[in-house]
Structure 1
C-alpha cells in the first residue's frame, strides 16, 4: 500500500535551482515542478533557475535565493553544513535534504598509456609535463575541488613540473580535450557516459592511494569506491573516490507540508522521471534506475522533518 497522495489547497510560489539548463539536475527540477503544480492551488507558480550543481546550490538555498536546489555528489553537502573546505567562510547548518536520487558515479584519474605510468608513485617519479583536463578549482565547482584535493594530497604538481591544467565547466568539454588530443591526462567524473568508452582504452587509471582516501574521509566525509574490472576497456579493478548521487537541498524553514509533498513526489511519482532514462541501460544511465523510495531517504545531511515524515510512512505502508 502506497502512502496517500498529499494535496495542498493553497497556491505556492517556489524557486528551484538546477544545472546549466540541459543536464540531469534541470530535468529533475522540471519533474518536481510539474508534479507539484498538479497538487497545489490553481495559482501555483514554480521557477527554475540555472546553476552549476556545485557549492552554488548550497549557498543559494542557505542565502534564501531559492527554496530548493540540486547538487552532486551528495556526500559533499556535509561540508556545507559543517563549514569545511570552500564552505568554511559561510557554513550552512540550516540546510536540510528532501531526498537523494541515485547516480552511481566515480571520480577517476587517467593518463595516456603511452606515458607508461600506472600509479601515483610512478607519476611522482616521472614528473611528466602533463596537459591535464579537469574542472575549475574556483570554490564552486565540486569536481575541481575534489581534483585539487587529490592531486595536492598525492604530491602531484602539474604546473610545477612544467605542465598545464586545462579547466572547463562541463564534462563534455573536458572529454573533448582528451578525444581531440589536447590533453594527455584527465581527472573527472560521469564515468558511466559513453564518452569514456571512446578514450578509456587509451588511458591508464591510477588507483588513489589509501592514505589520500582516508584523509578525505576524515576531513570531508568523502567515501571511497571501486571501479570494477572492465568498466573501462582493458582496465583492471581499482579504488578511487565515490562521486555518487544527486541531493535535493532545502532549508529547515521550508513549510513542513510542502517538504512532505515534495518528498512524496520524489518517491511516489518516480515513474515520471525513470521513463526518461529507460532507453539507456541502467548501469550506463546518468540516473541509476529503478529508484528506491526507502534509499532516497538515506541522506548525508539531516532530512527536513516533512520529508522524514514521508519516509516514516513507508514503514507503515
Structure 2
C-alpha cells in the first residue's frame, strides 16, 4: 500500500512480538473465496495458527465466498467474524455507504492486515483491430467479443469493467458486440487464448497466461477523467503498470486492483484481533513457502511479506491488530 517492501531472505528470523495465548476456546467463522484459490489458502493458514494458540475446544469454520462485495457485507452484517476481500481499497466506500454500498454503511469495519497482491485492471483489444487508445475505440466502434467478469453488482472485476467501459463511452452490445462474462479469471483468459474473444477487461496480470495473450493485444490506458471520477465516486485508486512489465510495452495508467484485506468488525475481541495480526506477521513464512516455486512478479500473492507493510491498511486497524503493528521495531 505504497510502503517500501523490505527484501529480506526467506530464512530470516521473524520479527518477534509477544506470542498470543488465548486460554478460552473460540468459535469463529471466516469467509474466503470459491474454495481453492488464494483467499481460502490464507484462511487455512490463519485458522491453523490461531487454533494452535487458543483453547482446546476451538472450532473455526471457513465459508465459501467470492472475496468481493459479498465478503465485506458478510462481515458488516455480522454473518462472519473475519473475511478476506480484494482489492483492498475497494472496501473504503463501505465505511460511509457510498458507491456500491449506498444505503448500507458499515462504519465499524476494521482491518487486521493487508497481504500484498500485485494486480491491475487491464483493458486490451486484439492488435488486428489497430486500436491503441480509448479515443480510437470510440471513433471506430468495432464489434467486440469482450471477455470479463460477471456484472452482477458484487464481483469487483465486473463492477470495475462496467464502470470503466461506460464512463469511457464504450457500448459493447450497442456496437453489435458481445459480453463473455465469467466468474473465474481463468475462463476470461481462455476466451482470448482460444479465439472466442477479441478483447478483455481483467486484473490478474501476474498470471503467466497474461504474458502469453498480451503478445496479441494492445493495452489501453484508461483516461484521466475516468480514473478521477472513479476515485471521487467509489474511492477506487489509480496506479501505473510499469514500462516493460509487459515486454515491449510502455508504462500506462489504470485502476489499482492490489492487495488482499483481512477484515473484521470493531467488536471482534481485542485478543483475537491481536492474535490474527500476530499470525500474519510472525508466521508469514508458512504462507510464503506455498509460493516459492513462482517468481515473485508472477505470483498471485507478492512475497516476501514485510510485517510493517501488512499493517498499512486502507481501513482503520482493529484495536488488537494495531497493538501488534505498533510494537514492531521501527513502527
TM-score by length of 2: 0.94
Aligned partner of 1:55 in structure 2 is: 69
Question: Structure 1: 5+ residue runs without aligned partners?
Answer: none
2:114 is aligned with 1:104: no
Aligned partner of 1:179 in structure 2 is: 193
* In structure 2, C-alpha distance between the alignment counterparts of 1:316 and 1:309, rounded to whole Å: 14
Asked whether the 8 Å contact 1:201–1:234 carries over to 2, the reply is no
CA distance change for structure 1 residues 316 and 108 in 2, over 3 Å: closer, same or farther? closer
Aligned partner of 1:166 in structure 2 is: 180
Aligned partner of 1:206 in structure 2 is: 220
Aligned ranges 1:140-155 → 2 under 5 Å: 140-155=154-169
* In structure 2, C-alpha distance between the alignment counterparts of 1:186 and 1:198, rounded to whole Å: 14
Q: Deviations over 1:259-284 (max 9, x none)?
A: 01101101111000000011101111
Per-residue deviation, 1:316: 7.0
Aligned partner of 1:133 in structure 2 is: 147
Aligned partner of 2:8 in structure 1 is: none
Question: Structure 2: 5+ residue runs without aligned partners?
Answer: 1-14
* In structure 2, C-alpha distance between the alignment counterparts of 1:290 and 1:32, rounded to whole Å: 17
Pick the aligned partner of 2:56 from 38, 42, 50.
42
Per-residue deviation, 1:233: 3.8
2:296 is aligned with 1:287: no
Pick the aligned partner of 2:138 from 109, 118, 124.
124
CA distance change for structure 1 residues 253 and 120 in 2, over 3 Å: closer, same or farther? same
Asked whether the 8 Å contact 1:204–1:235 carries over to 2, the reply is no
Aligned partner of 1:24 in structure 2 is: 38
Per-residue deviation, 1:89: 2.5
Per-residue deviation, 1:118: 0.2
Q: Deviations over 1:95-150 (max 9, x none)?
A: 11100000011000000000000000000000011111101111110111111111
* In structure 1, C-alpha distance between the alignment counterparts of 2:292 and 2:93, rounded to whole Å: 33
* In structure 1, C-alpha distance between the alignment counterparts of 2:158 and 2:328, rounded to whole Å: 38
Pick the aligned partner of 1:194 from 188, 205, 208.
208
Per-residue deviation, 1:229: 2.2
* In structure 2, C-alpha distance between the alignment counterparts of 1:171 and 1:275, rounded to whole Å: 24
* In structure 2, C-alpha distance between the alignment counterparts of 1:237 and 1:254, rounded to whole Å: 42
Aligned ranges 1:243-262 → 2 under 5 Å: 243-262=257-276
Q: Secondary structure at the match of 2:110?
A: strand
Asked whether the 8 Å contact 1:201–1:235 carries over to 2, the reply is no
Q: Secondary structure at the match of 1:167?
A: strand
Pick the aligned partner of 2:25 from 8, 11, 35.
11
* In structure 1, C-alpha distance between the alignment counterparts of 2:69 and 2:63, rounded to whole Å: 15
* In structure 1, C-alpha distance between the alignment counterparts of 2:182 and 2:30, rounded to whole Å: 25
Q: Secondary structure at the match of 2:327?
A: helix
Aligned partner of 2:314 in structure 1 is: 300
Aligned ranges 1:74-85 → 2 under 5 Å: 74-85=88-99
Q: Where in structure 1 do 4 or more consecutive aligned residues deviate above 3 Å?
A: none
Aligned partner of 1:222 in structure 2 is: 236
* In structure 2, C-alpha distance between the alignment counterparts of 1:237 and 1:251, rounded to whole Å: 38
Per-residue deviation, 1:81: 1.4
Q: Please tell me the root mean square deviation across aligned C-alpha atoms, in Å.
A: 1.2
Aligned partner of 2:10 in structure 1 is: none
Q: Deviations over 1:234-289 (max 9, x none)?
A: 32221111110000011111001110110110111100000001110111111100
* In structure 2, C-alpha distance between the alignment counterparts of 1:244 and 1:301, rounded to whole Å: 14
Q: Secondary structure at the match of 1:134?
A: strand
